[in-house]
Amino acid sequence: MIGSMTESTGWRGRARGAVRSAGVLPALLLGLSPAAVGQTLETVTVEGRRVSLVGEAITASEGIIGRQEIALRPLLRTGEVLELVPGMVVTQHSGTGKANQYFLRGFNLDHGTDFATFIDGMPLNLRSHGHGQGYTDLNPVIPEALATIAYKKGPYYADVGDFSGAGSADMRTVDRVDEGLAEITWGEGGYQRLVLVDSQRAAGGDWLYALEGNRYDGPWRGIDEDLSRVNLLIKHTRELAGGSLSLAAMAYDNSWNSADQIPARAVTQGIIDDLGVIDDTVGGESSRYSLSAGWRSAAWQAEAWLVRYDLNLWSNFTYFLDDPERGDQFEQVDERLLYGGRLRYNHAATLAGLPMTQTFGVELRVDDIDEVGLYRSVARQRIGPVRSDAVEESSLGLFWEQKLQWTQRLRSVVGLRYDHFDFDVSSAIERNVNGVDLSANGGHANDELWSLKGSLVFSVNDAWETYVSAGQGFHSNDARGTTARIDPADGSAIAAVDPLVRSLGYEAGVRGFWRERLNTSLAVWYLELDSELLFVGDAGNTEASGRSERNGVELTAYYALSEAWTLDLEYAWTDARFADAPPGERAIPGAVEHVAQAGISLDDGEDWFGSLRLRYFGERPLVEDASATSDATFSVNLGLGRRLGDWTLRADVLNLLDSDDHDIDYFYASRLPGEAEGGVEDQHYHVLEPRTVRLTAAYRF
């Protein structure tokens, strides 16, 4: 709901054109309360896709997702909340406690590179991470505590810097709820989940608390996931000095065993089945504790945050390829303190008599990493380090954006951004387990970039709008790669990576909001990345990657059949290729060409609610010459619930058709016991979890 991000724990009421005409939507996207912009509105529920962005958006591919939409979506894992972003695919190749793998706009985003994610202004992407650059773990998020998800695609927004090539998502938690919620879920595979959300008015403000506990063993044979996850959110919001002050503490702790991807030949030879494992000792432990503060008024927005993060992750993807006796298991370590903040100022004025709004902003981030390491291990016991480093990485960003209304129908948006990065790497070991001297791999590096962005927006009428945009973006590379000189595997010389990698994008589109029933958009886009070197966390070295180009088309359509029923369709087509590679070797491994989601949702506001969702992502090349490809993946999820006074009963059937399609596929060499030296080039995959039923009982108070 609007009004200091108030939200009901039920799924009731709808905000439509009145929200936009009141001028509150820009405040909502910035996290401002109506009080902060001088608005007085009745508390209502925001349904993001039933709110028109005509007159507010600067591209056809940005949008906002409301709390009702999040609540209606059947979710196998928390990370799947990002699949509410049109064209986004969220998969998992390992245990439930590990960060998901993401795909968008022809990017295999790995665990987050090139897509920036925030919660209440805090960045979730972790730079120079032990497992992968931009590692984005959404397990600390409690979906029931989310108010909105505002997403933007492409590098056209001055207020988004690092990891901005494919886009960004800004999740905001509620400030208070009108009703408390106590919810418990039971499911197959030992699934248990408890959620408690409530708020109280005390000490001159609102106090929100949300608690989540989750246990899960999974459907796998030969291993129990033994997932044990706890999340806590405590948030205080009050009016202060003409604005809204928010203070929040979040805590997350998790441990799990992993069912990693498996080689196809192990299944065809009968060694294991689709749900089997090769190494039953892999898994992880992770925690994240944060404090954050934010103050928002009509003109100012200030945010500061402090995060303590830890991860120990054990993986084994090649089994016995490198070490036929002890196996290839490795441990990745990440222990860090990160802190920073952002200050922005919005100023409305005129330029030559034309209405104008300018935004000025500054942001600071420091990642103080005690250790980011890679160790060889056996059954989670360390054999020796491949490399271990202490890293201090800091960045300063300045941005300016001007919105100018040229005529009643034509407006422009121009943005300029400056980013400066410093990298300081210190090796904690002299020689690694391979006997390689790593003393030359430490050092200092820095880099800076100016990024220019712009959009032209033409309103055809009150219901239809067209857009043309262009912009520069970037992502940072792992700090260890910026100072690397020696390959930790064999001591050979390697080249340092470019600290910052430029992206350049163009987009044209149209958006329509017809009679408060149809919300639709069409975007045609192009994006290129400069030639780059990538740091590979799983190996502790660098890997070359050429200049890439991507172009695509995205279509979204959400149609309200009635007050209770809604149809939706999302489709994305992408052509992704390496621009400078020889013909026949230009395929980008993992780039998804076709992504489609469709569904029908029910919420009568009183008794029944539910959602039927179809999800499809097509074949993708697994190697550069496309000689190995994955199959397409199709799945269906169903959720149906009934309100009975203060009680709500819900059933979710995930993977309704019991598809055995693959969640993810790779192609590389691995070695099983008894196989010849050098291993076998093979497809490795992680199957979709079989059909599972989860039952939920919720009580509102």
- pTM for the model stands at 0.91
- Taking the C-alpha atoms of residue 379 and residue 384, their distance in angstroms, rounded to an integer, is 13
Secondary structure class of 202 (helix, strand, coil): strand
pLDDT at residue 519 in the model? 95
The predicted model gives 244-252 an average pLDDT of: 97
pLDDT in tens, 39-89: 333 334 445 777 789 989 999 999 999 999 999 999 999 999 999 999 999
Q: Of 12, 65, 16, 107, which Cα lies nearest the Cα of 556?
A: 65
> Are 132 and 102 contacting, i.e. CB atoms less than 8 angstroms apart?
no
How far is CA 78 from its chain centroid?
11
- Taking the C-alpha atoms of residue 414 and residue 158, their distance in angstroms, rounded to an integer, is 8
3-state secondary structure 118-153: EECCEECCECCCCCCCCECCCCCCCHHHEEEEEEEE
> Are 521 and 513 contacting, i.e. CB atoms less than 8 angstroms apart?
no
Rounded to the nearest integer, the mean pLDDT of the chain is 90
Q: Of 521, 614, 598, which Cα lies nearest the Cα of 566?
A: 598
- Taking the C-alpha atoms of residue 226 and residue 259, their distance in angstroms, rounded to an integer, is 11
Secondary structure class of 439 (helix, strand, coil): helix
26, pLDDT greater than 80 = no
pLDDT in tens, 164-221: 889 999 999 999 999 999 999 999 999 999 999 999 999 899 999 999 999 999 999 9
Determine phi and psi for 227, rounding to 5 degrees.
-65, 135
- Taking the C-alpha atoms of residue 196 and residue 224, their distance in angstroms, rounded to an integer, is 26
- Taking the C-alpha atoms of residue 609 and residue 697, their distance in angstroms, rounded to an integer, is 14
pLDDT band, residue 112 (cuts 50/70/90) = confident
pLDDT in tens, 501-517: 999 999 999 999 998 89
- Taking the C-alpha atoms of residue 683 and residue 620, their distance in angstroms, rounded to an integer, is 13
- Taking the C-alpha atoms of residue 513 and residue 463, their distance in angstroms, rounded to an integer, is 5
> Are 641 and 73 contacting, i.e. CB atoms less than 8 angstroms apart?
no
> Are 174 and 180 contacting, i.e. CB atoms less than 8 angstroms apart?
no
DSSP for 520-561, please give it: EEEEEEEEEE--EEEEETTTTEEEEE--EEEEEEEEEEEEES
Burial 285-322 (b: 16+ CB within 10 A, else e): bbebbbebbbbbbbebbbbbbebebbbbbbbbbbbbbe
**CB count, 10 Å around CB of 273?**
12
Q: For residue 198, which amino acid is it?
A: D
**Domain chopping of the chain, boundaries:** 6-296+451-484+493-700
Q: Which of 2-16, 538-552, 596-610 has the lowest mean pLDDT?
A: 2-16
Contact partners, residue 85, CB within 8 Å, separation at least 6: 63, 65, 104, 149, 151, 167, 169
DSSP for 412-428, please give it: EEEEEEEEEEEEEEEES
Report the share of the chain in percent with pLDDT over 90. Answer: 83
> Are 110 and 134 contacting, i.e. CB atoms less than 8 angstroms apart?
yes
In total, the chain counts a number of residues equal to 701
Return the bridge partners of 446, or none: 422
> Are 586 and 106 contacting, i.e. CB atoms less than 8 angstroms apart?
no
Integer CA distances (angstroms), 646 to 234, 604, 658, in order: 24, 16, 33
Q: Of 281, 282, 283, 261, which Cα lies nearest the Cα of 272?
A: 261
> Are 341 and 348 contacting, i.e. CB atoms less than 8 angstroms apart?
no
32, pLDDT greater than 50 = no
pLDDT at residue 541 in the model? 61
Integer CA distances (angstroms), 379 to 222, 226, 316, 340, in order: 15, 16, 10, 37
Report the share of the chain in percent with pLDDT over 70. Answer: 91
Q: Containing H/E element for 517?
A: none
The predicted model gives 478-490 an average pLDDT of: 90
The two tokens of residue 634 are: 């199709």
Sheet with 662-670: list strands edge to edge: 262-263, 680-687, 662-670
- Taking the C-alpha atoms of residue 249 and residue 252, their distance in angstroms, rounded to an integer, is 10
| Location of structure tokens 């497992």 | 131
The two tokens of residue 665 are: 């596929």
Integer CA distances (angstroms), 464 to 460, 467, 519, 522, 524, in order: 5, 10, 10, 11, 17
Q: Which of 30-34, 198-202, 379-383 has the lowest mean pLDDT?
A: 30-34
- Taking the C-alpha atoms of residue 475 and residue 161, their distance in angstroms, rounded to an integer, is 8
The predicted model gives 285-292 an average pLDDT of: 98
Instruction: Report the CATH architecture of 6-296+451-484+493-700.
Output: Beta Barrel (2.40)
The predicted model gives 87-105 an average pLDDT of: 92
Return the bridge partners of 611, or none: 601, 639
Q: Of 280, 282, 283, 306, which Cα lies nearest the Cα of 293?
A: 306
